[in-house]
Amino acid sequence: MEQKLVIGIDIGGTKIDAGIIDSSGKILKKTRIYTKAHEGLDAVVQRIYDAIELVAADSKASIRGIGIGAPGQVDVKNGIVIFAPNMGWKDVELRRLIHERYKLPVEIENDANCGALAEAKFGAGSGANSLIWITVGTGIGGGIIISGKLMQGAGFAGGEIGHMTIKEKGPVCGCGNKGCLEALAAGPAIIHQIRDKIIAGTQTSILKIVDDDLNKITVEIAAKAADMGDNLSHKELNRAGKYLGIGVANLANILNPEVIILGGGVMEVAGHHLLKIIKNTVQNRALSQARANLRIELARLGNDAGLIGASLLI
């Protein structure tokens, strides 16, 4: 019997992952292409085509559909990316574009919702009836599963965790609001804070690591510097961790899930710094009944969660 395979696509502000995935959630083949969203919609869509064709080259006869995780607000019913601030997208008919080219069933969902589906079925949330998945990377997204069902919201804006207001007069977010969690604790926010402190004269070992080139600073480098005792890196990661902890405490109080899972690129490289401060903040801020049986865990599927979850849409 021929194996049923699905192409999963995970579109992010930094990269596009594509993979061939079987019914057990196993990734048989995978490729990554950098998004370069600044080059415009047409260029990014062409990269999506390129990624699909790279992974499907030897398996076209077995492919039964394409599942896509896209950033921002997604109209699941009509297959439209309504608004993706980190991509500069508004009302992009992504499902139609992909279907017209490949003549296969295509389903599209918010990328963080895809991550939630994957972690619920195969990862840290396996067996849980209610969970929240938070992805921290170029932006901050979220997926919420309550009573075993994905919460999409009346206008498909459910789970936009990164855009809860944490600091009233905080920095401007890509969505246009001020003080969003994403503007305070996503990867670019951490890097921006470190760069500003260096420019202001703060001493740090990061400069030696990047050969005095501030453009080379990444969250991964900050985490490595913190491991070596760098005070600036340690302080800024703690700052981001506290903001994330406030967001997690808010979610725990409102939704009282069994488990909250944190993943994404920032958690991949700096989770060992961030998780402890997040848990401490939740302990200090969440209601006792909301945190009594709450598990807060790092994602088990890593950066593949969105890809695997996208395949589950088919």
Domain residue spans in the chain? Answer: 5-116+305-311, 126-298
pLDDT recorded at residue 63? 93
The tens-digit pLDDT sequence of the chain (314 residues) is 457 899 999 998 888 999 999 989 999 999 999 999 999 999 999 999 999 999 998 777 789 999 999 988 899 999 999 988 878 899 999 999 999 999 999 999 998 899 999 999 999 999 899 999 999 988 898 999 999 899 988 888 888 899 999 999 999 998 899 999 999 999 999 999 999 999 999 999 999 999 999 999 999 999 999 999 999 999 999 999 999 999 999 999 999 999 999 998 899 999 999 999 999 999 999 999 999 999 999 999 988 999 999 999 99
The reported pLDDT for the residue numbered 85 is 81
Instruction: Give the torsion sign (CA, 220, 83, 122, 1).
Output: negative
pLDDT for residue 1: 47
pLDDT at 12: 86
Both tokens of 177, joined, read: 């609001």
Report the C-alpha gap between 314 and 294 in whole angstroms.
31
Tokens read off for 174? 């890509």
Cβ atoms of residues 184 and 171 within 8 Å: yes
pTM recorded for the entire structure:
0.86
CA Rg, the chain, in Å?
Answer: 19
Homologous superfamily, domain 126-298: ATPase, nucleotide binding domain (3.30.420.40)
What is the biggest distance separating any 2 CA atoms in the chain, rounded to whole angstroms? Answer: 66
Residue tagged 């990316």 (tokens): 81
Q: In this structure, what token pair is assigned to residue 77?
A: 């019913």
Predicted local distance difference test score (pLDDT) of residue 290? 97
Q: Is 134 exposed, middle or buried (0-12, 13-18, 19+ CB in 10 A)?
A: buried
- Its CATH class, for the domain covering 5-116+305-311, is alpha beta
Are 124 and 261 in contact by the 8 Å Cβ rule? The answer is yes
Q: Tell me, what's the pLDDT at 89?
A: 93
Cβ(67)–Cβ(8) below 8 Å? yes
pLDDT recorded at residue 19: 96
- C-alpha distances (whole Å) from 284 to each of 141, 179, 290 are 24, 21, 12
Residues 6+ apart with CB under 8 A from 188: 138
- Tell me, letter by letter, the H, E, C secondary structure of the chain: CCCCEEEEEEECCCEEEEEEECCCCCEEEEEEEECCHHHCHHHHHHHHHHHHHHHHCCCHHHEEEEEEEECCEEECCCCEEEEECCCCEEEECHHHHHHHHHCCCEEEEEHHHHHHHHHHHHCCCCCCCCEEEEEECCCEEEEEEECCEECCCCCCCCCCHHHCECCCCCCECCCCCECEHHHHHCHHHHHHHHHHHHHCCCCCCHHHHCCCCHHHCCHHHHHHHHHCCCHHHHHHHHHHHHHHHHHHHHHHHHHCCCEEEEECHHHHHHHHHHHHHHHHHHHHHCCHHHHCCCEEEECCCHHHHHHHHHHCCC
Instruction: State residue 2's pLDDT score.
Output: 58
Among 141, 166, 146, 170, which Cα is nearest to 74's?
141
Q: What's the first-to-final CA gap in the chain, in angstroms?
A: 19
